[in-house]
A = this chain, B = another copy of it.
């Protein structure tokens, strides 16, 4: 939650970029900073918008060309919630095994971790003769509160 934590993730990406010999253009820096200055899940379109606030010259093409670099670093994860567009999650550096509850009422996405589920997944995977590489749990849910009152306390959470 601290700012220091965030900065360090960004720094980690810059290290990754350097190790790959990637050039640090102003456009790339605007995109990278936008991606790691938030804890929200974002879409390509949102990332473009944020990046343009920092550097008006950023084009959609460059955003799409930069996204694979972000995911290749392992610091951002691509998520597919079944919509036409993908979401990107910048919180995997700190919480590499977190999962998601997607509320159908308020469109909120809540993250959670469970060592017990991780352990079971690992067991099951090995029992089938595989080794686990990555995992993902998506829970689609409703909140009763929203149904009753037309509002939802989870709206404030994020």
- A residues lining the B interface (CB < 8 Å): 78, 80-82, 86, 101, 103-104, 110, 112, 114, 116-117, 120-121, 124-125, 128-145, 153-154
Residue from the list B114, B133, B153, B154 in contact with A124, Cβ < 8 A: B114
Q: B131 and A140: CB pair below 8 A?
A: no
Q: How many copies does the complex hold?
A: 2
Residue from the list B116, B124, B143 in contact with A130, Cβ < 8 A: B143
Residue from the list B101, B116, B125, B153 in contact with A120, Cβ < 8 A: B116
Instruction: Give the docked Cα–Cα distance between A44 and B83 (Å).
Output: 17
Contacts of A110 in B (CB 8 A): 128, 130
Instruction: Give the docked Cα–Cα distance between A140 and B97 (Å).
Output: 13
